[in-house]
Amino acid sequence: MTIKVYNSLTDKKEEFKPQKENFVSMYVCGITPYDFVHLGHARAYVAFDIIKRHLIKRGFEVRHIQNFTDIDDKIIKRAQEKNISPAALADIYINDYFEQTDKLNILKADKYPRVTETMTEIINFIKVLYDNGFAYQKNGDVYFSVDKFKEYGKLSKRKTEDLKSGARVDINDDKASPVDFALWKRTKDGEPDSVSWDSPWGKGRPGWHIECSVMSSSILGDTIDIHGGGLDLVFPHHENEIAQSEAKSGKQFVKYWLHNGFVTVNKEKMSKSLGNFFTLKDILQKYDARVVRYYLLTQHYKSPLDFSDASLDGAKNALQGLDDAYLKLLSRTNSSSEIKDSRLIKMYENFMSVLDDDFSSEKAIALLHELKGFLLTEFAFGGQGLFELFSEMKTLFEEMMDSLGISLPKLPEDNDIKMLLKERNAARKAKDWGRADKLRKEIDAIGYKITDNPDGSSVLTKKI
């Protein structure tokens, strides 16, 4: 088994070899909680959820860290608008993050460090850079000197000279060079004391980039295996993380940089400024979370994903087809068996292989539909004599769905629904087709789908 990943640092696909044989350290940039999570966030966290799930399936122990940038200019501004504290505002949107991502069946990180809880480590990190000549202080602000780090631009493939010539010059800018970036920002006039911390350079708070370097290294060490985030973070955020981290430690900061593509709307990047911004909360009021997750997996994580109702409707129909096939399986068996059939073994090997190849979820979904086709063919011609094969199919279907993090269709828990189904089965047995049809329509109106079994019974599941 060989896993290959596309490394943004080298711009090529490489064999994945973590520092420790069966252990993977992974850091994914988290949200700045000043607003509700949106579809772009969902795209990123579903992508890295698939990566994490597959690594675990392949036998790795994954130590996964994801931060919250819980202090920021946008947070302070929004908190002032709402007349609440920045901490209270951050908590509102952090809670929203968990509420929405839980619906998408995203596995929890091992730890969610917050900037406000990591201040001592941040100040100490900056102090090392300052003492070693990589940073300088000007009027209470501390900047990283990009000229001191000779490999600057190696991730984004940008040259320092070009960045300098294209930089906007601000008369009030205290930076020695326009490409230098803030490690520590002095407290601004009128800002509340709650967003200010004491430091050797005076009261202030951290710059954005330093925070992730500190939160990742303080938990995972100086070198981590995978660092992930959206493509928009390559420059300047991740480029600056590399510079300050490697300047401090003298070691490679990240072995494999993985970046997910943008969500677009009519081929334009989703953004508030363009007015094409969709919160996850709003989308999940219209579409089942299973459908949204399925949709997010229909393109390779590095590719752009164009959002539309038509795309989600297509995902809904495709997922319903998978659900229907699974319900037909349940109509023949409730058992799960070890996979022994050579055809099913081959399907599973192919499925795992496409995920080994840079976590190609879109190809994995295609193979899931291939299994559906095989299942329906065997169901049509197999009769009652293939109980063992159906049991193996059930095991394989559930294993593939689990690898993609798509939960299985929900069977009813409501006793009233179960009673209606029992009445319908009795009507069918009595060949009272009018009554049976009336009950089917009643059940359908409540939002459940019926799959009738050869023995006269039925399986019921919630429609999506």
pLDDT tens-digit series, residues 298-330: 999 999 999 999 999 999 999 999 998 898 888
pLDDT of residue 170 exceeding 60, the answer is no
Burial string for 295-332 (b: 16+ CB within 10 Å, else e) reads: bbbbbbbbeebbbeeeebeebbebbbebbebbbbbbbb
Q: Which residue has the tokens 């795309």?
A: 311
Q: Are 332 and 464 in contact (CB under 8 A)?
A: no
Count each helix (H run) and each strand (E run) in the chain, helices first: 15, 15
Exposure string of 350-360, with b = 16+ CB inside 10 Å and e = fewer, is bbbebbbbbbb
Give me the domains of the chain, ranges plus CATH numbers: 20-269 (3.40.50.620), 308-403 (1.20.120.640), 415-462 (no CATH)
- Which of the four pLDDT bands, split at 50, 70 and 90, describes residue 461? confident
Give the tens place of pLDDT for each residue, 87-143: 999 999 999 999 999 999 999 999 999 999 999 999 999 999 999 999 999 999 999
User: Per-residue pLDDT averaged across 246-256, rounded?
Assistant: 98
Give me the chain's average pLDDT, please: 92
Q: From CA 12, how far away is CA 14, in angstroms rounded? A: 6
Mean local confidence (pLDDT), 249-253: 98
Q: Which of 10-14, 77-81, 336-340, 445-449 shows the lowest mean pLDDT across its residues?
A: 445-449
The pLDDT-based confidence of 269 (bands split at 50, 70, 90) is: confident
Taking the whole predicted model, whether its pTM rises above 0.85 is answered as: yes
Nearest-CA neighbor of 297 among 397, 448, 457, 405? 405
